[in-house]
Amino acid sequence: MFDKQQRKFKRSARLISVLSKYGFKDLIARMGKKPEENAAQTDEIISKGTVYERIRLVLEELGPTFVKLGQAFSNREDLLPPELIQELQKLQDRVETVDLNVTEILENEFNISVRDYFSEINAKPLATASIAQVYQATLITGEKVIIKIKKPNVQSIIEDDLLLIKDLVKLISTYSEMAAKLNLKQAIATFEKSLLEEVSLVNERNNIRQFALNFKQNKETYVPIVYEEFSNNNVLCMEFIDGIKVTDKTELLAYSIDPVTISEWGLRLFVSQILDYGFFHADPHAGNILVKKDGRVVFIDFGAVGKIQPNDKEILESMIVAFVAKNSHKIVRNLKKMAVSYDIPDEKRFENDVNEVLQFVHSNSLREIDTQIIINKMKDVLKDNQLYMPDYFYLLFKGISLIEGVGRTINPDLDVVKSLQPYTKKIISQKVNPKKFLKTGMQKLMTFSDNLDEIPQELRSVLQKLDDNKFTISSEIKNIEKTNNLIKSSIVNLILAMIFGANIIATAVVFASESGPRIGELPVVAILGLLLSAILAVILLLRISRK
């Protein structure tokens, strides 16, 4: 405990020193601290830049956790001003290579003699990142592998930095009304969860397993093998992929691999991750996509992934169908369903804003449209109408932009919207499928049944209040007779609608079965069911139109 407090004190002192150096003395004063004396001489020079430039410089100097924080917020136009977003997009990781004794680490972590399992380990890192370093090695059985090793103390450094970040956000939210409204605490909580998942190599191993399970039957992609016996929370050992960088057209052509095909496969695989599984690579830039010599696409580095809940996935599917159908009203409705919170000042304006984006997309040649422009327009709509979406939504924006950029590098004619069309057809066919219809109908019926079960309890509560003389009604009803007639009519309409719905479900079930007399390919009972549904629909329409 004392060691943890001591670490936090040192990081706090470092934070105060850097803030003072870049001219943020007011913030330090509000923290109840004194600016560092040694920063006073440089403060006047460094504070000449804009406040947003100096924020970027502070993040870079404070190290990897703060740089990742800036990078995570560099696509949050809904939270931050455009000038700060531009600066955050310039953030680059300043990664230093650390000397690690790979043999010693492996022997300590797995209680083995390395020479019994590895014939060679390259002491020079193949790649270095802020959290881990990657080394190439060869197993005694001849397979080439990579060994990803977490840097020493990186876990404790990140945990200490996260505590400091949360303290800063609490301070800023207290003194800034605008920051309090932006709900930065929630955004930081999302960042913390994502970063702690990324620093866990067990989590990355599980992500690879899930991806392999999802695409085990897919012939367009390949998932590297994980060597479980040499993997834990600090070490990840997996198959070395001797692949071609996805944007290297010359190398692709040298192996008779068509870049156009690869661009289409890569985009299709990413869309499949989203719409088929709700589990997608959160950072699909060119460095994280390789192509094997046989043409299969390989995604690597699964430290960060996006996960979509089943209910949200269905909403996303409906939104894509509405996008293709140019139905702005349905898109608005689905956005509101998906949003964590919203405070829309003008519903009509919101729908008009969405409609403008749709008109822009559908009035231009699809091959000429820059997906990033569409994404930026949509982000502006969300910001202007105060919709705060779940964190995966922004990861989707980032992922689509990255994968489209990779695809267009090797195939300038790549058509993103066209790639969505097979999925749109698949979604529509699933929605009209009798089995799907029956399943949805049953789910709604169960929900209705659950609500029905709650009615007696609510009714008992009302009766108890009546019995105790605690029930009061305050109301003013005009035109009571007309109101009664309207209520009666509404009840009849509701009963007819329920019969209509039940009949549709029953008809769908009969269609799906192969029993009973038939006229041609159609069951007789199903035909009668359709006729009854049509009659009920006409009756309902006549009753509604008359009122």
User: Distance (Å, rounded) from C-alpha 329 to C-alpha 307?
Assistant: 26
pLDDT tens sequence across 469-485:
665 655 555 566 666 67
Instruction: Give residue 402's region: left, alpha or beta (phi > 0; psi -120 to 50).
Output: alpha
**Same domain (yes/no): 340, 288:** yes
Instruction: Tell me the helices (H) and strands (E) count for the chain, helix number first.
Output: 22, 14
Choose the final residue of a domain: 163, 197, 231: 197
- Our measurement of the distance from residue 379's CA atom to the centroid of its chain's CA atoms, rounded to an integer in Å, reads 14
Q: What are phi and psi of 44, to 5 degrees?
A: -65, -35
Strands (E), 211-359: 235-239, 244-245, 279-281, 289-291, 297-299, 305-307, 341-342
**Same domain (yes/no): 233, 352:** no
**Same domain (yes/no): 350, 417:** yes
pLDDT for the residue numbered 61: 85
pLDDT for the residue numbered 40: 45
**Same domain (yes/no): 108, 211:** yes
Contacts of residue 85, defined as CB under 8 A and 6 or more positions apart, other chains included, come to 74, 75, 76, 77
**Same domain (yes/no): 124, 232:** yes
**Same domain (yes/no): 259, 332:** yes
456: number of Cβ within 10 Å: 9
> How does DSSP assign 469-521, residue by residue?
T--------SSHHHHHHHHHHHHHHHHHHHHHHHHHHHHHHHHH---S-EETT
Question: Closest Cα to residue 75, out of 153, 190, 165?
Answer: 190
Can you read off the two tokens belonging to residue 24?
């943020």
First and final C-alpha spacing in the chain: 72
User: 147: number of CA atoms within 13 Å, CB side?
Assistant: 28
**Same domain (yes/no): 68, 46:** yes
241: number of Cβ within 10 Å: 17
For residue 130, the SS3 value is coil
Do the Cβ atoms of 391 and 194 come closer than 8 Å?
A: yes
CA distances in angstroms from 506 to 442, 452, 502, 535, 540, listed in the order given: 11, 22, 6, 16, 19
**Same domain (yes/no): 67, 173:** no
CA-atom Rg of the chain in angstroms: 30
**Same domain (yes/no): 277, 155:** no
**Same domain (yes/no): 215, 270:** no
> How does DSSP assign 65-112, residue by residue?
HHHHHHHHTTT-TTTS-HHHHHHHTT-----------HHHHHHHHH--
346: number of Cβ within 10 Å: 11
User: Distance (Å, rounded) from C-alpha 27 to C-alpha 97?
Assistant: 33
Domain that holds residue 367: 244-431
Q: What is the pLDDT along the chain (547 residues), one digit of tens a residue?
A: 556 667 767 777 888 888 888 887 766 666 555 555 444 444 454 656 788 888 888 888 888 888 888 888 887 776 778 888 888 888 866 677 889 999 999 999 999 999 999 999 999 999 888 889 999 999 999 999 999 999 998 888 888 888 888 888 877 777 666 666 666 777 788 888 888 888 899 999 999 999 999 999 999 999 999 999 999 999 999 999 999 999 999 999 999 999 999 998 998 899 899 988 999 999 898 889 999 999 999 999 998 899 998 888 888 888 888 887 788 899 999 999 998 888 888 889 999 999 988 888 776 655 666 777 788 888 888 888 888 888 888 888 888 888 888 888 888 877 776 666 677 677 666 655 555 555 555 555 555 555 555 556 656 666 666 666 665 655 555 566 666 677 777 777 777 777 777 767 776 666 666 566 767 666 766 677 777 777 877 777 777 766 5
**Same domain (yes/no): 169, 193:** no
User: Distance (Å, rounded) from C-alpha 305 to C-alpha 297?
Assistant: 18
**Same domain (yes/no): 249, 349:** yes
pLDDT tens sequence across 430-466:
655 555 555 555 555 555 555 555 556 656 666 666 6
Question: To which H or E segment does residue 277 belong?
Answer: none
Find the largest Cα–Cα distance for the chain.
Answer: 94
Choose the final residue of a domain: 431, 461, 496: 431
How many domains are there within the chain? 5
Choose the final residue of a domain: 174, 197, 220: 197
